[in-house]
Amino acid sequence: MSSDRLLQNIVSILLMSGYNVSERCEIRPRSFDLMASNGENLIAIKVVSQIDSISEDVAWDLDKIARHLHAVPLIIGERARDLPLERGAIYLRYGIYAVSTSTLYDYLADGELPLVYASPGGMYVNIDANRLRELREGMEMSLGDLANALGVSRRTVSKYENGMGTTLDMALRLEEFFNDDIVKPIDLLTYTPAAEEQVPASLPSAHTAGESAEKPEDHLRLMGINVHEFKRSPFHAVSVFENETILTCYGSPQKTVERAEFVSSISQISGTHSLCVVTDYGKEKKIGKTVVIGDKRLKDLADGEELLEIVMNEKR
């Protein structure tokens, strides 16, 4: 299936499931292709044919988008290596869920949560550890008793009751033995960003007061704004001041209109503000929801409050 057709199918599933969908990102490089929201969940979607093509930089960006926009990153694809993605199965790329369009449809349209995940060696499931312990103790069985019944070690059963996953075959044996559900479904829209946010060496560190700021992102920091930069996102940074989030991009006038229009679409979907800082530009205007100002105008602003007043001015 072509990438265009794949993306169209995904958009159709999202719209049918009550999501508002952003414009498609045509800007390169790009760490995501779409954002979608139903008012409760915000999803950042990367669409690829081969999920193995997802790079560490793309995953890094998706994780930071999840952190700073309170979104869920999701990779939608067709194949892993030479095999099609299994329906109802979850795959992982650098800790981010990757699924087929069929799995996405089952989840969003029918509320059917995936049960299995792919890992080296085959398909695995998560065991509901508390439920397994309750069932075993309810039958007055020791760890050793259950281990003997299953033909595994006592240590293995103990690991199951401490949250270790198991093969699909073993999960079926457990459910048949207890005649009860033990497999724990996987929620596609549950994601926890990386425990520590590490700034790559390629991104500048924050400047201290009194230092010069040649780049827009550096001046934003001097204004007291928290700036979180990305590697491959169509917006270069997320700027945060007084709990207000601003999707921020900077560059030459030639690419401003296309980038500003797309970032405006993302801003609308994500409930944020958006700003484009343009070099050698003397005007100040809006493209959609995106405020476009020159880099010299930015450097005239004293602090984050002045910038916030500009991006929140709906009458411009």
| 66-84 pLDDT, tens digit each | 999 999 999 999 999 889 9
Q: Which residue has the higher pLDDT, 99 or 257?
A: 99
pLDDT attached to residue 316 = 54
How far is Cα 133 from Cα 158, in angstroms, rounded to an integer?
9
Q: From 243, 255, 257, 241, select the one nearest 305 (Cα to Cα).
A: 241
Mean pLDDT confidence for 208-214: 49
- Asked if the model's pLDDT at residue 213 lies above 60, the reply is no
Predicted confidence band of residue 204 (pLDDT cuts 50, 70, 90): very low
Per-residue pLDDT tens digits for 302-311: 999 999 999 9
Predicted confidence band of residue 208 (pLDDT cuts 50, 70, 90): very low
pLDDT attached to residue 280 = 85
Q: Which residue has the higher pLDDT, 120 or 51?
A: 51
Contacts 24+ apart (CB under 8 A), 307-310: 307/220, 307/223, 307/225, 307/241, 307/246, 307/275, 308/241, 308/242, 308/244, 308/246, 310/284
- Report the share of the chain in percent with pLDDT over 70: 93
Place of tokens 């530009």: 281
Q: Are 239 and 229 in contact (CB under 8 A)?
A: no
Distances (CA, A) of 115 to 30, 85, 92, 183: 30, 14, 14, 7
Predicted confidence band of residue 196 (pLDDT cuts 50, 70, 90): low
Mean pLDDT confidence for 41-51: 97
Q: How far out from the chain centre does Cα 218 lie?
A: 26
Record the pTM: 0.88
Dihedral sign (CA 310, 312, 315, 316): positive
Burial class for 177, CB neighbours closer than 10 Å (0-12, 13-18, 19+)? middle
Three-state DSSP class for 175? helix
How far is Cα 302 from Cα 293, in angstroms, rounded to an integer?
15
pLDDT attached to residue 3 = 80
pLDDT attached to residue 110 = 95
Distances (CA, A) of 254 to 5, 33, 161, 165, 250: 30, 22, 59, 52, 11
Structure-block tokens of residue 192: 């926890």
- Asked if the model's pLDDT at residue 201 lies above 80, the reply is no
In total, the chain counts a number of residues equal to 316
Predicted confidence band of residue 253 (pLDDT cuts 50, 70, 90): confident
DSSP character at residue 206:
P
Mean pLDDT confidence for 208-231: 80
pLDDT attached to residue 80 = 94
- The residues, ordered by sequence, that sit 6+ positions from 103 with a Cβ below 8 Å of its Cβ are 85, 87, 88, 89, 90, 114, 188
Q: Are 50 and 77 in contact (CB under 8 A)?
A: yes
| Number of neighbours of residue 292 by Cβ within 10 angstroms | 23
Per-residue pLDDT tens digits for 87-102: 999 999 999 999 999 9
Q: Which residue has the higher pLDDT, 280 or 275?
A: 275
